[in-house]
Amino acid sequence: MSSSALDRYRATLIGLERKSRRRMLSPRHGIDFTSNDYLGLATSSRLAEAITAAIGQGIPAGAGGSRLLRGNHCVHEALETEAASFFGAESALYFGSGFAANVALFSCLPQRNDLIVYDALIHASVHDGISAGRAGAVAARHNDVEAFDRAIRDWRAGGAKGHPWLAVESLYSMDGDRAPLAELLAIAERHDGFLFVDEAHATGVLGTNGRGLASGLENSGRLLTLHTCGKALGVSGALLGLPDVLAGYMVNRARSFIYSTAPSPLMAAGIREALRIIEDEPERRHRLNALQGFVAELLRSKLGISPSGSQIQPIMIGDNARAVRIAARLQSEGFDIRAIRPPTVPEGTARLRLSITLNVDEEQIAAMIERLAVAIEEDRP
């Protein structure tokens, strides 16, 4: 390929580098303050033993085809039945990732005359699903219940006859704050619509017995939930909880479900065990909650920062280059902390994203906060 054919791509990378926005892959190194392995299940011996046992039972690593062909394994179906019961849904569908599940849902279920009202900070996968679908869409200001309601009222005033879909995260991945789910569900019900809740960062950690922040709202036929399996559950993939009729519709119409090779049956076996661990070992959630409280006190006393109230804590920096420098310094001192920059977060809100997991202890947290305070002070503009 000629050099000129590559120039436009090279120019984009140079521009990103100039703005301190170029992304680079880097290996794991240092104490974990970055991963979403909130309950430490990714390295759980019980999870490893369950997957080893599944191999011994002949459960294959690969599905060998799509779910509608020979790829539909009995372990997939067992997982979906157990997950639906665990999360209080009529049905569940297992996907290879939360991104794939969100794209499948938003490109398939909202119809041409419907309206999707999504939180301004919703995950990128929802945006991609909306772009691939047929429904109209509008952003609502973050966690502003009235903005959601107003968007639907304005749409109805224009003569719209379809159904609205409200799309939010229960716990926001970059800010660590929570959505007002009960109020949003009331809006969905009042306007004959649906509420979609991405529970990715709450699953296993928050809500009744780790069932997510939408637990307790499940009796509504207007609620759909996403539970990713590669964060607190420690495995991979994602589970959509939804009414039976919508699950059947997606099996027949969701292109990324129909035309994708099914997820690994071995991973499905691992997720079944992860759900059992969530039920059997509530002490993991209790320990994580205690660590969050410890972090909160240090943030107030050492950095003058108000804690988010969850295991996700943003340290707002603002400037891209400064965020990268501070993160690099902490990495050099043995703490795996990453800078998050636009477009992942809004312009001017570059930050360090601290993730608190059971992979760290109080001594390591205290040392990290101490070094963070020094790094911020010594890199002031």
The residues carrying an active-site annotation are 36, 123, 169, 173, 198, 201, 231
Q: Residue 261: what are its φ and ψ, rounded to 5°?
A: -60, 140
CA angle centred on 326, ends 323 and 328, rounded to 5°: 105
Token look-up 């009744």 returns 208
Cα–Cα distances in Å, from 34 out to 6, 16, 103, 171, 355? Answer: 33, 23, 25, 16, 5
Cα–Cα distances in Å, from 109 out to 59, 69, 80, 128, 164? Answer: 32, 22, 19, 14, 11
Q: Rounded CA gap, 226 and 98, in Å?
A: 7
3-state secondary structure of 92: strand
Q: Rounded CA gap, 92 and 65, in Å?
A: 20
Sign of the CA dihedral with 195 first, then 201, 204, and 210 last? negative
Token look-up 């996403």 returns 226
A 10 A CB-CB count for 152 gives 24
